[in-house]
């Protein structure tokens, strides 16, 4: 297939997603408890943009000629890796589907993709749209199933040449181990995070409170990018906590399909129980519970928006990924102190810095061990920008031009020639 035709097919798929956007957003909300308007305006818009972005790249992936010594002509080619196994999470199902398949198909690979067992519906509808768009049979294969069975089979299969996984660090380790035990598959891992947001006293306080709030509570806190350690400089600490509590108390919980509701249920009982257990650990270990801290309502897996202050670095709520609507606010006194504390984690996915001093922003951004640093904003995502982490937050990159490197093999070809002309 010509590379340009791969781009045409991805654009057709984007057109079909636009046509079915209402159905897909509704399925996403029903399946995951995600707020419908967020599914419609955030997840589905990102899905369409990602498909179109990589459609544009399809016929622009090429090698180089290299001026080697001697009478030789050398060039490189970027060839597809082959069969790509892709395993996606339950928190952003349709968006992650596009993040995975778009660069893989753009580079000429085939795909076996497993949606999370909790949220298979949008992936199955996307499979129907892929067929309708005209992709050849067998290019994209959607395999619903459980991690220990379907996911494990993909990770261990000798004919799968690459695995791209988004999910927990614990499962990421199992996938990396499986690759090592079989055919040394290429691996891209996007794993957990315990992301710091650093708020300096010279920032725009209202805006920082708002961004830290949305950076944690977005999608019921079920986000690897969640700013779950908010470090606030001592002079504004008390006021920041006060305003953060007000915002948390203003959230409206309920049916995610109802207009005006801005927090739905957690994904399942296991996650619900884990969040409540970590909240209890915060209480036991001496953090101050400012609001929330319990289940909400008589039915459903709802958890009250929760804010802890006077949190110390050794508490479980400050070290473990909670993946729920629980905000931790810590106090700091100096740039050196907060930088060291922000980096004192096994994770390194994202970070935020709020300050009106550009020199401070640049200095702290350079010092933070994170794959993405946002200054005076948070969760400022785009399909053009690479996404991925340091340390145990994974390896490789998704999105942007950098993702293309994860889906091609570079072949060097050297030809003996009679004489060079240059």
Please list, in sequence order, all residues whose beta carbon lies within 8 angstroms of the beta carbon of residue 292, skipping any fewer than 6 positions away.
248, 279, 303, 304, 305, 306, 307, 325, 326
Whole-angstrom Cα distance, residue 50 to residue 10? 10
Three-point CA angle 73, 74, 76, nearest 5°: 150
Instruction: Answer whether 406's CB lies under 8 Å from 395's CB.
Output: no
Residue 106 annotated among the catalytic residues of the structure: no
Q: Which residues of 7-25 are buried (b: 16+ CB within 10 A; e: fewer)?
A: bbbbbbbbebbeebbeebb
Angstrom distance (rounded) from CA 288 to CA 35 = 29
355 near 361, Cβ under 8 Å?
yes
Q: Answer whether 199's CB lies under 8 Å from 208's CB.
A: yes
**β-pair type (110-114, 140-142):** parallel
List of residues 6+ apart from 408 with CB closer than 8 A: 61, 78, 79, 80, 81, 107
Catalytic residue list contains 224: yes
DSSP state string for 280-300: HHHHHTT-EEEE--SB-SSSS
Residues 6+ apart with CB under 8 A from 42: none
Distance CA 85, CA 141 (A): 10
Closest to 322 (Cα-Cα) out of 339, 338, 303: 303
The H or E element that residue 114 is part of is strand 110-114
Catalytic residue, candidates 28, 190, 321, 406: 190
306-309: strand order across its sheet: 288-291, 306-309, 326-332, 229-233, 196-199, 350-354, 372-375
Catalytic residue selected from 106, 107, 203, 224: 224
As given in the structure block, the two tokens for residue 38 are: 């967020």
| Positions marked catalytic | 190, 224
């Amino acid at each position: 297939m010509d590379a340009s035709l791969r781009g045409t097919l991805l654009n057709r798929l984007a057109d079909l997603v636009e046509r079915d956007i209402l159905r897909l957003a509704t399925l996403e909300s029903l399946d995951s408890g995600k707020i419908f308007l967020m599914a419609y305006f955030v997840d589905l818009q990102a899905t369409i943009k990602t498909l179109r972005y990589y459609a544009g790249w399809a016929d622009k992936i090429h090698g180089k000629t290299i001026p080697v010594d001697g009478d030789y002509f050398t060039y490189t080619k970027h060839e597809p890796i082959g069969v790509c196994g892709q395993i996606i999470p339950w928190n952003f199902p349709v968006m992650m589907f596009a993040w995975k398949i778009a660069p893989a198909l753009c580079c000429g690979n085939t795909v076996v993709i497993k949606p999370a067992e909790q949220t298979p519906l949008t992936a199955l509808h996307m499979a129907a749209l892929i067929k309708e768009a005209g992709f050849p049979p067998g290019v994209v294969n959607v395999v619903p199933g459980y991690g220990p069975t379907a996911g494990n089979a993909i990770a261990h299969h000798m004919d799968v040449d690459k695995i791209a996984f988004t999910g927990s660090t614990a499962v990421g380790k199992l996938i990396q181990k499986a690759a090592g035990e079989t055919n040394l598959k290429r691996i891209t891992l996007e794993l957990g995070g315990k992301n710091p947001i650093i708020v300096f006293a010279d920032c725009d306080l209202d805006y920082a409170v708002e961004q830290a709030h949305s950076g944690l509570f977005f999608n019921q806190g079920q986000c690897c990018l969640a700013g779950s350690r908010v470090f606030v400089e001592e002079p504004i600490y008390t006021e920041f906590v006060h305003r953060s509590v007000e915002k948390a108390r203003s959230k409206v919980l309920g049916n995610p399909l109802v207009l005006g509701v801005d927090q739905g249920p957690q994904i399942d009982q296991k996650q619900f129980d884990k969040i409540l257990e970590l909240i209890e650990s915060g209480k036991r270990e001496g953090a101050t519970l400012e609001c929330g801290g319990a289940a909400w309502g008589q039915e459903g897996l709802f958890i009250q928006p929760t804010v802890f202050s006077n949190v110390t670095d050794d508490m479980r709520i400050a070290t473990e990924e909670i993946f729920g609507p629980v905000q931790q606010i810590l106090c700091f006194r100096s740039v050196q102190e907060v930088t060291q504390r922000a980096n004192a984690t096994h994770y390194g996915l994202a970070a935020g810095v709020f300050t009106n001093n550009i020199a401070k922003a640049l200095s702290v951004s350079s010092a933070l061990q994170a794959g993405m640093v946002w200054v005076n904003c948070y969760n400022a995502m785009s399909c053009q920008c690479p996404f991925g982490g340091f340390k145990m937050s994974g390896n490789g990159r998704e999105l942007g031009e950098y993702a293309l490197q994860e889906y091609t093999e570079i072949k060097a070809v050297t030809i003996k020639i009679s004489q060079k002309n240059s």
